[in-house]
Amino acid sequence: MFDYDLLEALASVVRTGSFDRAAKQLHVTPSAISQRVKLLEERVGTVLVVRGQPCEATEAGLRLCQHLEQVALMEGNVRDALPGSADGMGHAVPVRIAINADSLDTWFVNAIAELPDVLFDVVVDDQDHSDEWLRRGEVAGAVTSRSQSIQGCDSKLIGNLRYQATASPVFIEKFFPDGQVTLDALKQAPCMIFDRKDQLQYRWMKQVFGQDFSPPSHWLPSTNAFVKGALAGIGWGMNPELLVADHIASGRLAPLVPGTPFDVPLYWQANRVAGASIAKVSEAVLKAGRAALRATTE
């Protein structure tokens, strides 16, 4: 068996970014933490933490932290089956989740609020890429656009996140003065793109115009800045209906081409190994997600 005192010291350094804070978290001295990490590095025969501001795990260090998190999740199952509160059995480890930015900024906090006893460690990635975190074993669950179950995981449909290609009336008047959004006019109108992974603007163009192309673009990696950017008239972009419905109703924003919503089905995939302790997380995610997203006819 591994020495889990050593692994916990490592994981705490990586999580808090500092030997001092890890020491405070585990109620030992910083030199005890340092000795434990060093001992673990000697046993494994490789460097596990890059000492810096903050301290970061090496690839091998990350692998050991992942293992610890999985063991902690499995401990959760045992903990629930034990009589009493099992308070003397050590403290809880956060559940690591990968999720798209637009879900995190709209409905996901409601899932966290459902579970006051669970800590969440959220990483953000595009819905077309969040499944990779699960595949690599770095998270226990993911909100993803991939319906097909990843090996060892269960996949459940949450619902459709509906997008509207939106811009301000002033922007629309400037670039489409006759109200017609033609392909040629759209090629001149600045567009907002979240980051290199964001394909939504291209996909909407393809759905509406039968082809995609690269208009002049701002790159703005923030859900909130996308909405603000549309309101300020810097460009058009695919905004979640959840965030712009009020703005559309009040006339501060308008759909670029009325009647062309774009739906992204989102799935919850969770690691089966984590079992019962992820089950209540799954339940909360599905409840909060289904309350906010649109039902699909799938």
Footprint on this chain of a copy of itself (rule: CB under 8 A): 12, 14-17, 21-22, 24-25, 53-54, 56, 91-92, 94, 101, 104-105, 108-110, 112-113, 116, 119-124, 128, 190, 196-197, 199, 202, 212-214, 216-225, 228-229, 232-234
Minimum CB distance to a copy of itself, residue 109 (Å): 4
- Nearer to a copy of itself (CB atom), residue 135 or residue 154: 135
Minimum CB distance to a copy of itself, residue 95 (Å): 10
- Nearer to a copy of itself (CB atom), residue 11 or residue 270: 11
- Nearer to a copy of itself (CB atom), residue 106 or residue 282: 106
Classify burial at 229, counting beta carbons within 10 Å of its beta carbon; exposed 0-12, middle 13-18, buried 19 or more: buried
Minimum CB distance to a copy of itself, residue 189 (Å): 11
- Nearer to a copy of itself (CB atom), residue 233 or residue 255: 233
Q: Which amino acid is it at 180?
A: Q
CA 297 to CA 252: how far, in whole Å? 31
Minimum CB distance to a copy of itself, residue 235 (Å): 9
CA 19 to CA 14: how far, in whole Å? 9
- Nearer to a copy of itself (CB atom), residue 16 or residue 152: 16
Spatial contact of 60 and 48, defined as CB atoms under 8 Å apart: yes
* DSSP 8-state assignment for residue 54: S
- Nearer to a copy of itself (CB atom), residue 99 or residue 274: 99
Output b/e per residue, 54-76; b: 16+ Cβ within 10 A. ebebeeebbbbbbebbbebbebb
Minimum CB distance to a copy of itself, residue 45 (Å): 25
Spatial contact of 263 and 161, defined as CB atoms under 8 Å apart: yes
Minimum CB distance to a copy of itself, residue 123 (Å): 7
Q: Which two tokens stand for residue 92?
A: 């809880």
CA 93 to CA 8: how far, in whole Å? 10
Q: Which two tokens stand for residue 131?
A: 């499944």
- Nearer to a copy of itself (CB atom), residue 3 or residue 195: 195
* DSSP 8-state assignment for residue 149: P
- Nearer to a copy of itself (CB atom), residue 232 or residue 295: 232
Q: Is the dihedral of CA 285, 287, 288, 292 positive or negative?
A: positive
Beta-bridge partners for 109: none
Minimum CB distance to a copy of itself, residue 119 (Å): 6
Minimum CB distance to a copy of itself, residue 217 (Å): 7
Q: Is the dihedral of CA 285, 286, 287, 291 positive or negative?
A: positive
